[in-house]
Amino acid sequence: MQLRFQDFDDFVVFFKPNGIRMHQVDDGHFGFVEAVSQKLAAPLYIVHRLDKETSGLVLFAKNKDSASLLSELFEDHLIQKTYFFLTDRKPDEKFYLVKSHIEKKQNRFVNTPGLPPNSETLLEYVQPAGDFHLWKAIPKSGKPHQIRLHAESMNIPILGDPEHGGAPWFRLCLHASRLNFTLHGKSYSFESEIPPSFKKPDPLMIRNLLDDAFFNRSELFHLEKHDSFRLLHLEFKDLRVDIFNDHLWVYDYSANGLTHLQQTQIQNFANDQHLHSVIRHMLDRGQGVGGLEQTTLQQSTPETTWHAFEEKIQYVLKTNSGFSPGLFLDQRENRQWIRKMALDKNVLNLFSYTSGFSVAAALGGAQQVTSVDASKKFLEWSKENFKANALSSEKYEFFAQDCMLFLKGAQKRHRTWNLIICDPPSFGRSQDSIWKIEKNLGELAHLIWNCLAVNGQLLFTCNYEKWTRHELIAEFSKNLPHGKFKLDRLPLLSLDFGETDDTQNLMKGFLLTRLS
């Protein structure tokens, strides 16, 4: 998906969703600027910051000279910023000019009475919003948590800000809406509409949650009619929601399933967006579907098959063939990487499922693509995906076989590949064997190594929850020849999945290059 942003000679302006930190804090915890820099294939420089839970406009410089100049404008308060926030408290006044001394004590930002003010904010009442109240904030300085602390001090704490006295909510209701400044003699003005939940907050929250999530993705990406993307990721504990073309696919991880009222709110959202809703109550991951595809559906559609696009690649999706419709969207950036790297390569896709990686490789000009999966049903589905993209499945290889047995046979035949994709399940069962990643990964790594050509590359991912990324790499590489390979990071996750965070993201993996 293409990012939506405003591009100028010296800077770019983006919309940052709530829930994404501004920048990387260590090797495994990346932020917004790293993600957008990767997509633009160009460095960007931070000149101001928004709190992780604050949404709205953010400006990045495109070079060091511009970064220095824009940083000075922010430091000298020559860039006017306007925010909006919600509170559940009735106002005593319509205007407040708040001044205080803000400092950090014991890892918390606080107002400290008795010291000279180092911060100033104008707070102006806007209007009621249901049972809540909308305020405008214009900071005259730029201290951390400034608006949040000043709202708290006036007894109008921000909704969703329990750290500073606010009532619980699904998000921090603070939005950076406007930026105004002059640079090189030219005036600039940028504005972002306030989120839907600020206009009509609903105590039941589910509808607000979906509306805000759609707003965030629409502001961040140029969404096209048939696109597929993650609508709701970590914003709500028990729900993950994807959009596949005209279908809203809801994964419900709650213990007892969604209530009738929650299902109704989801259906109303789907109707307003002209989407068909499918709600699946998910069982314990890793235990298999066991023929429960239909009994776990809380809402569905009459048709069982439809088509959707991802990065202009078409996929066949189904409601009756497992707990997923047939495409894991967190692999989007990895599929894009495979497509870019596949030209003239021999490509092997292990545990290929519906062969999304294989289709991407074929469209990228791979010389040969081999897809291996124990399920004949999934390989037939794979051929449907090839056909949907005008690719003749007869030109490519499909093996309905246990992947370990396939690799052993390939090793005996001295067959190698330039590019291998491997995304094994944590647990699997075939006619020939039972697969457990914690038990079988070492043998799998050895077999893959023997089938990977010199200078060849492996893209490896898994969702095994008991290992961190570093533990996965250690387990995979411990029996490989020392000094004979190089490890790299996978592409960062697309921002519809939030920030790339090794401690939060279920999918983990790496790129490996065989050096000799």
3-state SS class at 262: helix
CA atoms within 13 A on the CB side of 368: 9
**CA pair distance 459, 325, nearest whole angstrom:** 23
The number of C-alpha atoms within 13 Å of 50 and in the hemisphere containing its C-beta is: 30
pTM: 0.93
What is the number of alpha carbons within 13 Å of residue 51 lying toward its C-beta? 20
**Locate tokens 């200078």: which residue?**
455
Question: In which residue ranges of the chain is CATH 3.30.750 found?
Answer: 206-318
Give the H/E segment covering residue 242. Answer: strand 239-244
3-state secondary structure of 516: coil
- Tens digit of each residue's pLDDT, the chain (516 residues): 899 999 999 999 999 999 999 999 988 899 999 999 999 999 999 999 999 999 999 999 999 999 999 999 999 999 999 999 999 999 999 999 999 999 999 989 999 999 999 999 999 999 999 999 999 999 999 999 999 999 999 999 999 999 999 999 999 999 999 999 999 999 999 999 999 999 999 988 899 999 999 999 999 999 988 899 999 998 988 899 999 999 999 999 998 889 999 999 999 999 999 999 999 998 654 444 444 555 567 767 778 999 999 999 999 999 988 889 999 999 999 999 999 999 999 999 999 999 999 999 999 999 999 999 999 999 999 999 999 999 999 999 999 999 999 999 999 999 999 999 999 999 987 777 788 999 999 999 999 999 999 999 999 999 999 999 999 999 999 989 999 999 999 999 999 999 999 888 899 999 999 999
Integer CA distances (angstroms), 123 to 96, 99, 234, 278, in order: 5, 11, 31, 43
Tell me which CATH code domain 329-514 carries.
Answer: 3.40.50.150
Residue 283, pLDDT score:
66
**Domain span(s) for CATH 3.40.50.150 in the chain:** 329-514
Amino acid in the structure at residue 427? F
Q: Is 76 a catalytic residue?
A: no
- The per-residue pLDDT for 290 is 45
Give the active site residue among 7, 27, 51, 76.
Answer: 51
Phi and psi, residue 485, nearest 5°: -145, 160
Predicted local distance difference test score (pLDDT) of residue 26: 86
CATH 3.30.2350.10 boundaries in the chain:
2-192
Q: What is the CATH code of the structural domain delimited by 2-192?
A: 3.30.2350.10
Across the strands, what pairs with 187? 182
Q: φ and ψ at 32, to 5 degrees?
A: -65, -45
Highest CATH level, class, for 206-318: alpha beta
